[in-house]
A and B are shown apart, each in its own frame.
Chain A
């Protein structure tokens, strides 16, 4: 118990390292979830943020503008090319359209293209959605214009536009497959993925630092001289590491369920997320102990804590969507338990049939357990080798 207590005292002294990470983490999570989530079962369609500048103010331009604003979210932005491009880059605007004066008059009289100026991101899909909306609206109008022999009579313009609006309001129904996937799954999965980063960062930087201090040769010698056996010392240290990591995990998981509601625990996929993440916490504890055996220095803990946690977060898809991460890097980082837990969180957050996906989830949990055991065994072997060398 002596080493166990000493370790906890040390960590209390390192609270200034632990607290900022935990606060940042909670801040990220709360901020990311401010937007809310769609109800389960309904297809969650993207709602592009757009700006429409209508200089024509003709019946056609007014109807087109109303149609676009009805289907998308209007964003207030200054009509300046640089400001619009900045807004698109910063992602608070997806698309802008400028309807110049004389647009309706020139429509169908000056070639195959409409006189419009559009601003969009690179080929990100959303611009294709917006292009389709505009092009279809104008195509339908063009069909009527052609049917009228080249131009819609002024007396018929309003009724024709109403007809175009009605046609354009035609929708198709889309549903998401729903069975065992609750509405909070994505939220919980995001939280657990970010929690993995925090456990790695805080674990290596603070807990790893504690291990490095406790394992300093003068402290070790003092304990041994006082008759405290090395094996007891080792197990006390291991127990302390696991207990602290579990306490940290429990605390943050408790905060998660305070935020999303404890009722989420009644959903089977969320329970599996908890099991997977807990297994990850144990595997990471073993990894930290191994790392500190290989690099037994306080300074290494800060350096490695930042480098390993950031790298893992990028490579396993915590900070960026996994589909854009280079595949060989993902393969390399599959040597970290985090990779397998993030995989599980992704699977479980979009599962349609838990019974179908459970095999993969359990396999990933098994891999994490084996990794934890392997790290733990190597740590024991290394400690034994060092003991013998010291003796």
Chain B
């Protein structure tokens, strides 16, 4: 299992906006961060501690190509400007000997922006498609947007007035795909289209306003179109400059393109179409840069100026800052038609199903669980399965989230606030839905929303009787800071390290760590805190059915007896079939006519003899079987079949049924044989009810939730069955 490749400041260097104009040609409008390291100058050791990629002799030779050919007779003047990129990290303007000005922002990652602008403005065939260009060692990835063939960005007003809205809705649907959600917490089963994110909802409202605006200035339309023509921006391209490791290129590019690049480009396209936003902002940035060039501003000064005066530039900054840290990028585009606030993110898994291999530290600190990965298709189809098995764990302080929600005037937030108040990590969604405040479907919808926007995760409900251990996947590098936070949040609790150590020694139900019942609720809060940080994981119990030799023998014996009985009853009917067929062949009025072969007397006699022989043989065999069976030890049920070491069982080994629910044939006979052994009627009934959990993948701890039982009752039943179960305990 390899970890997903996510952007980080090492493999994601910059975002740049490039436009092309029909008259003035390509222009490198803006990039962020201002100083892009040329990748050669970065330290050889990357974060994961592996050495730089090996180079071979060819590289050394190729490097010579870049050196001026001074040894040859008539060298070309080596002072051509492109040959010498300025050193990295300078902020100020410089001048060459012949007086040419070198502007700090006119080189990005060692390339002159003039050349970059030209190579990063691909033709129309790349419109809304993946444009992927590598300039060793950089990768430039983007989704170029071209002006419609008509040459006019703004959509014609003759179209339906809600056309603008449809753009957004399409976006909203594509944002959280079902797959993403399934990966997130396997919660997407019940509803799917309902995922309307909060910012996008806002967008839609804004869009409606905008439509109204548009209608209002319909008469000013014609002059607008002329303006558009004059602007003559033929395309724009938001380029993501990456520096991935060789074997990660594809994955990184695909992740970024699907989740970020395409969506941001789409949002920009929408803003450009609705209010000429990209071009107007670009014009402003270009003008500022020109001014900065003339007045020789320092790069830092200019960038502050641009970022404060252009929301487009600010959004580029937001994208870089958020995406390179793999956070949610919440953009704010102050278009003339009102602000647009799209949000983009790369969905991250909030759990891992297995320990990452040694040395891969990327997923350290994630919640380790098989609760999500062991869900079978069948149980997903089962109504209410997820609702009963999962609870919401907020990733931040409840009060903080509520305050944020209340700051939003949107009417839906009131219900969300209620949801946040009601949701407790100890209560399953089903239980939350039982309160009369929110319907189950609302609960599901909000839970998905919170989970998608990383405000919460879905976990099996916490319970003081369950066993929690220090997670083998916890990130101990975070201990120093976490200890401080813990101390602040729970000043009276034992120190974090001691508490974790306690949990790590011997697995015990969580309530044993709690000094008294009065502390129970605080201790559950502490548990939720530990869960959030991935410090602990639940130690669950998984079971398989073991069929002991005694049971196997019993079933075999009965099967044999059954067979013999049938054989005794059967001989008449068994021989009648061949004889009747023989008779039918004797029939002179056969429909098949003359050319069919009529058996002669001899043949008939031979056939008769043959049949007799067969019958004799089966009879003999049956008799042998019956006598053998009669010799066998009659099965006797002992109280504890697991320790029955009677000699007639010695050659048999216990049998494990992997999935009791899917048991067929002999295995299902075993299952009912075991059920007969459970003397209590209630127990026998429970055996049939519970057998679907005996597959080594369903935690026995969750049976009570699933069957709507008291935990104690469920455990009593399970204990009574334990002789026939083999258990294994893991996360």
Same complex for A and B? Answer: no
Q: Which residues of B contact A (CB under 8 A)?
A: none
Interface residues of A (CB under 8 A from B): none
